[in-house]
Structures are given as C-alpha cells and as structure tokens.
Amino acid sequence: MAALEYTVDGGIGTILLNRPHRKNAFTFEMIELWAEALQSARTDDAVRAVVVTGAGDAFCSGIDLDDFAAEATGPLAVKSLLADRIHRVAHAVEDLDKPLIAAVNGIAVGAGMDMALMCDVRLLSESARMSEGYIRIGLVPGDGGCYYLPRIVGMGKALELMWTGEFVDAAEALRLGLANHVYASADFPAAWRKFAERLAGQPPLALRMIKRAAYQSARTDVHTALDLISSHMAVVHSTQDAAEAMAAFREHRTPVFEGR
C-alpha cells in the first residue's frame, strides 16, 4: 500500500496521506508524489477540485523526523531539503487555480499544519487539533507557517500560536477562522465529500477565475484588481458554461457544465 495515494473520482482529486501508523508523517518520497499529484490535477480537465486528507485518526504530524535527520547533515543541506524538496508542495499549490481543500480529520502538527494552511479551505472533524509545534523542538516554522498563518488569523494571534506551540481544537479553529466548517467525526468523510462535490459541480472556468482573482487582488491595488476582473468577466461571459448556467437558471433545472 502506497504511503500517498492519489485518486480521481466524480471531478474530485483526492490526495490521501497513508501512513496512519506514523500519524501520516510525510517522507521525502511522499513529498515528490504530493507535488506530482497537484501538478497532475492542475492540467487534468477531469479534476475540478482537490482534497488532501489523512488515513486513520490523523491528518499529518509533519515531516518524518527520522527521514529528515538522515539527510540534514549541515546548514546548507537543511536549506536544500526545504527549498528544493519540501517546498515543492507549496510551489505546486501556488500554481493550482482549482479549489484545494484540506479535510483535517485529526491532528495537524508542524509542517502538517502548514500543509493545511496553504489550502484554500479547511474542513475539520470535531476531533481535529492543530499546532505549529516547531518551537517545542527548538525550530522555526519551516513550511510556510510564518507566511500563511498571519494572513488567516492576524499577526498577533499567529505569533502567539507559533511562539507557544499550543494546540487549537476544532471549535477554537472555527472561531479564529482557521476552519471553514467543523463536522462530527462520524460524518466527516461524507461531509467533506459533499462539500467538494458542491464545488466540483460549479462551472469550472468561473471557479478557477474566482480563485485567481481573489488571490491576485490580495496582492495588488483596487484599480488593478478591478481592471483584472473586468477582463475575467468578459472571458467567462463568452463561455458555453455561462450560457448553460443562465439557461438552467431560467428553466429551473440543474445545469451541466463542460468547462468551456
């Protein structure tokens, strides 16, 4: 059984971290497969949304420290391990203009929490617990926590969470905006699947344009953002999917989108 499995079904690409005996701590081999799955999803028209989740009772406990220690032989080696290997997932995420959902089914610690933070949406099981955790072993957030967390919860709270390494439960994550939704543990697989199916059923070009515009707008001024969205609107308005959506709305039926 593979330590990371990628499957596509019903418009949803699912990345399953599959090392439950190690709380889904990832290895360098898994990182390669993870980045490749995201790159495949980006260009696969059959994929309209992507979900990352974990097997067993954990989402991801971060990097496998044994795997890391075996190759972290000095400062340059450590930097290379991060920049050239572990960060491949973050770069692949940055290039993905389709919805990316973290279905956090249990603990997400250190780089495991960072991997959830870099997703567009976080759905949590009520048993989920999240911690930046690096400080507990004398390290700094190595997989984007210092970038993503302040943008989600604000600088003050982000620094508190990174400085203390304290755990945040699902209810607190929802209050802070770390989680979009929290579901009962028994219902969680069906709940995240239903959410992903809802996104996969939307007009795919409009979905992707919304994601692009939202992230691009966060990094630019209002005039540039409005100019950009006017171009996006002109393109999307001309698509067959837009015509189908309007026809279905008028005819009170479920639309069928083809991504064109």
Q: What is the pLDDT of residues 227-241, one digit of tens each?
A: 999 999 999 999 998
The architecture CATH gives domain 204-251: Orthogonal Bundle (1.10)
For residues 53 and 105, the answer to whether their CB atoms sit within 8 Å is yes
Q: How far apart are CA 37 and CA 92, in angstroms?
A: 9
Q: How far from the centroid of its chain's Cα atoms is residue 71's Cα?
A: 27
Nearest to 117 by CA among 134, 95, 100: 100
CATH code given to domain 4-200 = 3.90.226.10
Task: Report whether pLDDT(245) > 90.
Answer: no
- Give me the pLDDT at residue 1, please: 77
Q: What's the rounded mean pLDDT across residues 37-63?
A: 97
Q: What is the pTM of this model?
A: 0.95
Domain ranges of the chain: 4-200, 204-251
- Give me the pLDDT at residue 68, please: 87
Query: 7: helix, coil or strand?
Result: strand
Task: Report whether pLDDT(60) > 80.
Answer: yes
Nearest to 118 by CA among 88, 138, 156: 88
Q: What is the mean pLDDT of the chain?
A: 95
- Give me the pLDDT at residue 72, please: 79
- Give me the pLDDT at residue 150, please: 98
Q: How far apart are CA 8 and CA 142, in angstroms?
A: 30
CATH topology of 4-200 equal to that of 204-251?
Answer: no
Q: How far apart are CA 196 and CA 101, in angstroms?
A: 8
Task: Report whether pLDDT(168) > 90.
Answer: yes
